[in-house]
Amino acid sequence: MSIKQDRVSGRIRTILSELLLREVSDPRLHGITITEVELDPELQYAQVYVNALGDEDREADVMKGLEHATGFLRREVGKRVRLRKTPELIFHWDITLERSERINKLIASLDIPPAPVEELVNQTEDADDDDD
């Protein structure tokens, strides 16, 4: 991603977060987080990733609310970001948080015995010898 893409996507993320927090009255959109904004090289399309942290059951309602508010959000982004053309906002539900939680649960459920203390001490001593 270019520096300009990175800068503009960060600005769009901030603007959308503020709009959702302060200016959007749709109850379906309360408590959602903009997790990431990715812009294409021509700055015409913004892939906006959202999540209702800890409340994944709301996905359908949130996406319907965003679909309804897209025109308003795009218009407001256009007023606050100086670009020739305001990027089209394409909203996606961000599943990375769900995925990482599932992986953490799987790792926690593994029954891996700890390494014997002597083995850990020997590994530490070997590493110290290598530094000399």
**98 Cβ contact list (under 8 Å, min separation 6):** 56
Domain range enclosing 112: 3-131
Please state whether beta strands 88-93 and 33-39 pair in parallel, antiparallel, or not at all (unpaired).
unpaired
| 3-35 tens-digit pLDDT | 999 999 999 999 999 999 999 999 999 999 999
| 50-108 tens-digit pLDDT | 998 778 788 999 999 999 999 999 999 999 998 899 999 999 998 877 777 778 788 88
pLDDT at 101: 74
Q: Give the global pTM.
A: 0.74
Q: How would you class 78 by CB atoms within 10 Å of its CB: exposed for 0-12, middle for 13-18, buried for 19 or more?
A: middle
- Number of structural domains, the chain? 1
CATH code of the domain containing 95 = 3.30.300.20
